[in-house]
C-alpha cells in the first residue's frame, strides 16, 4: 500500500536527478517526459480502479498510527487530480521541448518544474493539515523560483506582489494549523472530521474556518485577494504559464473542497453562504478584468479567476450534485485552461506578440490552431455539447433549486462576458486581417507558404 507516496517521491527523484544532470539535452528531456508519462498512466490506472472498487489506499508513514503519525490517502478524487497534474505536466514538457532547443533551455527549469509537481502531488495525497502546509510551501518556493528564473527586470517587478501575498498566506496557514491543533488535538483530517460535529458550537471554530477561508482564497485567487494572479502569470514562459494556470489555483480549490466537505462541520451554512457570495463576486470581477485586457495571456489569466468563481460557487451551494459539478468543473477547467495558454503561446510564437491589436490573419495561416482554439474557447464559455456546459448546467440547476437567483444571474452574466472576451481573441488573433504590420510567421512549422525573404 505504498502507492500514495510514489506520486510524491517519483517527481522529487526526477527533480534531484535533473539537478545533478546539469546540461539540458535531448536525453534529459526524454527522461523527464517518460517519467511524467509514467506518473500520468499510473494515476489513470489508480483513478479507474479506485473509482470502480470505490475504495481508498491509506499509508501511515513509518507505521505510526493516525492521530500522531502522518497519513497519506489516495482516494478516487485524489487520483483524478494526480492524473490531471501528470497530464498537464506532460503537455507542458512536450510544448517546452518543441518551443525551445535543448541548448537554450535554462538548466534549472526542469528540476524546479518537477519540485513544483512534487508539491502539487503531495497536497493531493496528504491526509494531514501540517503536511498540507509543507506541500504548499514546496509548491510555492518552486513557483517563486520558476517565476523569476528567466525573467527580465520588468518581470521581477510583477513577481514581488506574488511573493509578498503568498508569504502572508503561508503564515496565516501556519496559524490555522496551530489553532487546529489546539482545537482538535490532532492534525489528521480523518481525526479532525470525526470531531467536527461536536465542535460545531465552539466559537474558536469560527476563527479557524475564517483563517482557512482566507488562506485558500489567497491560494485560489478569490475576490478580493486575487490581485497577484493576473499580473504574475503572464510573465511566465508559455509551458510554465499553462501548467501554473491549470494546476496551481486548482490546488487551492481542491483543498478548499476537502476542508469544507470533511474537516469543517457540514451544517456550517454561514460559511457556505459566504463562499457562494465571494465566488459570485470573483466571477464578475474576474470576467470584467478579462474584458478590459487586450493581450491573450492577460485575458486568459483573468478568466482563471472567473472560472474559479464557478467552482467555489459549487462548493458554496453544498449539495451532493453541486459538489459533483465542482469536481467536473475542476477537471474541465484544468484541461481547457492549460490548452488555451499553450494556444496563446503558439500565437505568440507565430506573431512575435500576443497583443490583439498587432496580431491577426492566423485563421488563414494556421487553420488547425484556429479550430483548436475555437473548441476550447466555446467550451470555456459553456456552449452546450462541450464539457464546460455540463458543470455550469448542474450549478445552475442546483442554484435555482436553492433559490439563489442573484448568484445564478451573476454566473450567467459571467458566462456571456466570457464568450465576449473569447470572441475578442478569436477576432483579434485569428479572423481579422493584420491592421498595421504584416503577419510575421517566425516559426517555420506553421508557415504553409514558402518563406519570403522580408519576413
Partner 1 sequence: MQLDTALLVGTLFSVALYLILQRSFVKMLFGFVLLSNAVNLFLLAMSGPPDGKDSPIISPNSSSYVDPLPQALILTAIVISFGVSAYLVVLLYRLFLDHGVTNACELYHPKSGDTSKGEDAPS
Q: Does 169 bind partner 1 (CB under 8 A)?
A: no
- Of residues 172 and 423, the one with the C-beta less far from partner 1: 172
| Of 48, 58, 163, 291, the one binding partner 1 by CB under 8 A | 163
Q: Does 23 bind partner 1 (CB under 8 A)?
A: no
Size of the site for partner 1 (CB under 8 A): 42
Q: Identify which range of 6-14, 97-105, 150-158, 262-270 contacts partner 1 by CB under 8 A.
A: 150-158
Q: Which residue has the cell 460557487?
A: 313
Q: Identify which range of 74-82, 117-125, 127-135, 392-400 contacts partner 1 by CB under 8 A.
A: 127-135
| Of 141, 149, 374, 423, the one binding partner 1 by CB under 8 A | 141
User: Least distance (Å) from partner 1 to the CB of residue 144?
Assistant: 6
User: Least distance (Å) from partner 1 to the CB of residue 94?
Assistant: 23
- Of residues 17 and 175, the one with the C-beta less far from partner 1: 175
| Of 3, 21, 31, 144, the one binding partner 1 by CB under 8 A | 144
User: Least distance (Å) from partner 1 to the CB of residue 179?
Assistant: 7
User: Least distance (Å) from partner 1 to the CB of residue 337?
Assistant: 18
| Of 71, 126, 170, 282, the one binding partner 1 by CB under 8 A | 170
- Of residues 182 and 400, the one with the C-beta less far from partner 1: 182
Q: Does 191 bind partner 1 (CB under 8 A)?
A: no
> Which residues are at the interface with partner 1 (CB under 8 A)?
64, 68, 130, 133-134, 137, 140-141, 144-145, 148, 152-157, 159-160, 163-164, 167-168, 170-171, 174-175, 177-179, 181-182, 187, 234-235, 293, 295, 297-298, 353-355
Amino acid at each position: 500500500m505504498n502507492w500514495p507516496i510514489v506520486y510524491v517521491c517519483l517527481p522529487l527523484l526526477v527533480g534531484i536527478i535533473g539537478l545533478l544532470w546539469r546540461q539540458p539535452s535531448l536525453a534529459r528531456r526524454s527522461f523527464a517526459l517518460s517519467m511524467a508519462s509514467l506518473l500520468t498512466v499510473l494515476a489513470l490506472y489508480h483513478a479507474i480502479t479506485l473509482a470502480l472498487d470505490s475504495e481508498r489506499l491509506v499509508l501511515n508513514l513509518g507505521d505510526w498510527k493516525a492521530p500522531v503519525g502522518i497519513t497519506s490517502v489516495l482516494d478516487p478524487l485524489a487520483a483524478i487530480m494526480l492524473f490531471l497534474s501528470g497530464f498537464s505536466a506532460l503537455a507542458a514538457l512536450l510544448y517546452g521541448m518543441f518551443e525551445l532547443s535543448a541548448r537554450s533551455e535554462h538548466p534549472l527549469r526542469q528540476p524546479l518544474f518537477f519540485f513544483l509537481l512534487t508539491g502539487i502531488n503531495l497536497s493531493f495525497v496528504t491526509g494531514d493539515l501540517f503536511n498540507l502546509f509543507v506541500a504548499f510551501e514546496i509548491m510555492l518556493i518552486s513557483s517563486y523560483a520558476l517565476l523569476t528564473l528567466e525573467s527580465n527586470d520588468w518581470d521581477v517587478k510583477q513577481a514581488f506582489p506574488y511573493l509578498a501575498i503568498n508569504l502572508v498566506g503561508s503564515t496565516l496557514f501556519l496559524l490555522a494549523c496551530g489553532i487546529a491543533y489546539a482545537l482538535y488535538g490532532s492534525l489528521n483530517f480523518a481525526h479532525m472530521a470525526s470531531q467536527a460535529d461536536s465542535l460545531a458550537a465552539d466559537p474558536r471554530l469560527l476563527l479557524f474556518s475564517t483563517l482557512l477561508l482566507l488562506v485558500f482564497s489567497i491560494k485560489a485567487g478569490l475576490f478580493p485577494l486575487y490581485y497577484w494572479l493576473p499580473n504574475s502569470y503572464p510573465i511566465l514562459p508559455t509551458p510554465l504559464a499553462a501548467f501554473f494556470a491549470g494546476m496551481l489555483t486548482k490546488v487551492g480549490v481542491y483543498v478548499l473542497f476537502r476542508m469544507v466537505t470533511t474537516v469543517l462541520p457540514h451544517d456550517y451554512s454561514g460559511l457556505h453562504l459566504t463562499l457562494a457570495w465571494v465566488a459570485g463576486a470573483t466571477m464578475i470581477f474576474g470576467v470584467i478584468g478579462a474584458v478590459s485586457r487586450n493581450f491573450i495571456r492577460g485575458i486568459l489569466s483573468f478568466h482563471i479567476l472567473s472560472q474559479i468563481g464557478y467552482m467555489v460557487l459549487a462548493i458554496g451551494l453544498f449539495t451532493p450534485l453541486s459538489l459533483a459539478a465542482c469536481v467536473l468543473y475542476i477537471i474541465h477547467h484544468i484541461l481547457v485552461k492549460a490548452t488555451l495558454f499553450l494556444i496563446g503561446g503558439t500565437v505568440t510564437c507565430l506573431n512575435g506578440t500576443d497583443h490583439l491589436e498587432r496580431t491577426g490573419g492566423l485563421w488563414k495561416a494556421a487553420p488547425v490552431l484556429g479550430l483548436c482554439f475555437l473548441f476550447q474557447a466555446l467550451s470555456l464559455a459553456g456552449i452546450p455539447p462541450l464539457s464546460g456546459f455540463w458543470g455550469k448546467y448542474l450549478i445552475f440547476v442546483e442554484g435555482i433549486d436553492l433559490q439563489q437567483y442573484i448568484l445564478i444571474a451573476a454566473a450567467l452574466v459571467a458566462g456571456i462576458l466570457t464568450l465576449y472576451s473569447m470572441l475578442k481573441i478569436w477576432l483579434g488573433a485569428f479572423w481579422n486581417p493584420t491592421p498595421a504590420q504584416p503577419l510575421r510567421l517566425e516559426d517555420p512549422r506553421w508557415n504553409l507558404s514558402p518563406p519570403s525573404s522580408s519576413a
